[in-house]
Amino acid sequence: MRILAFDCATAHLSIAVAIDGNVVARHDEPAARGHGERLLPLIRATLDAAGLDVPALDRIGVTVGPGHFTGLRVGLAAARGFRAATGLPVIGVTTLETLAHQVPAAQRAGRRVLACVDSKRAEPYFQLFDDELRPLGSAAAMLPVAFALDLPHGAPLIVAGDHGVLPALRLHGHQAEAAAATHPDAAFVAALAAGRDAGEALTPFYLHPALVTGAAAAGNAP
């Protein structure tokens, strides 16, 4: 299976092309802004490096959020454009599950995995998983201190993504360490997309729905 995957819902831009589970080309760069100008040229360059063109792909994987509103819309618009032009199935995965899957099995053994994405607001996005990457609840946007107070004590934590929550967790008695993963990696988006049902609607995952109004709300269309 040949998959193009990308994430531009955070302050990084990550693109990967995978063939039968092996990443054959990739690009990662910090990108606090400018996703709209950079995404399509970098997709083209990454496909060229893989020796593929869009019609040769079997599917496309893209992050659907939660994340930065503008970058999220850019990524979804690009994915929908490819689908409209080629008929390729597009598979959406969340930034939080992508981050959780980036923690190696040896590091998460006996630990809960906390995936965290900076929201550009006071309340980051959080989701907790067990050591087999099963969700232990829904994603939420909360102040780090409030999250730390609300989180039951239990198995140690390994935090993937935004590590800004670590001081609050430790202050309130949680045993927490930082994982190496700091942003969603498109290689893991590709791996998750490979095993998903291609018939699901491509719907953005917003945790601050009050911000989605007017024309921006049109991004919710499948």
Per the domain annotation, does 187 fall within a domain? yes
Cα-only R_g, the chain: 17
Per the domain annotation, does 100 fall within a domain? no
Q: Let me know whether 23 and 40 are in one domain.
A: yes
Q: Let me know whether 22 and 80 are in one domain.
A: yes
**Domain count of the fold of the chain:** 2
Neighbouring residues of 162: CB distance < 8 A, sequence distance ≥ 6: 116, 117, 118, 124, 182
Q: Let me know whether 85 and 34 are in one domain.
A: yes
What pTM value is reported for the model? Answer: 0.91
d(CA 17, CA 46): 7
For residue 199, name the pLDDT band (cuts at 50, 70, 90). Answer: confident
Residues of the chain with pLDDT > 90, as a percent, come to 83
pLDDT one-digit tens code per residue, 84-142: 999 999 999 999 999 999 999 999 999 999 999 999 899 999 999 999 999 999 999 99
Q: Let me know whether 85 and 7 are in one domain.
A: yes
* Domain span at 125: 105-178
| pLDDT at residue 2 tops 60 | yes
Q: Let me know whether 64 and 119 are in one domain.
A: no
CB 155 within 8 A of CB 111: yes
User: Which pLDDT value is given to residue 209?
Assistant: 54
Instruction: Compute the half-sphere exposure of residue 82: CA atoms within 13 Å on the CB side of its CA.
Output: 28
- CA 22 to chain CA mean position, Å: 19
Q: Let me know whether 13 and 90 are in one domain.
A: yes
Q: Let me know whether 190 and 91 are in one domain.
A: yes
Q: Where are the alpha helices (DSSP H) in 35-135?
A: 35-50, 69-86, 95-101, 105-108
User: Which pLDDT value is given to residue 217?
Assistant: 39
Mean pLDDT of the 166-194 span: 97
Mean pLDDT of the 55-80 span: 95
Q: What CATH number is given to the structural domain containing 150?
A: 3.30.420.40
Q: Let me know whether 79 and 148 are in one domain.
A: no
pLDDT one-digit tens code per residue, 4-15: 999 999 999 999
Per the domain annotation, does 159 fall within a domain? yes
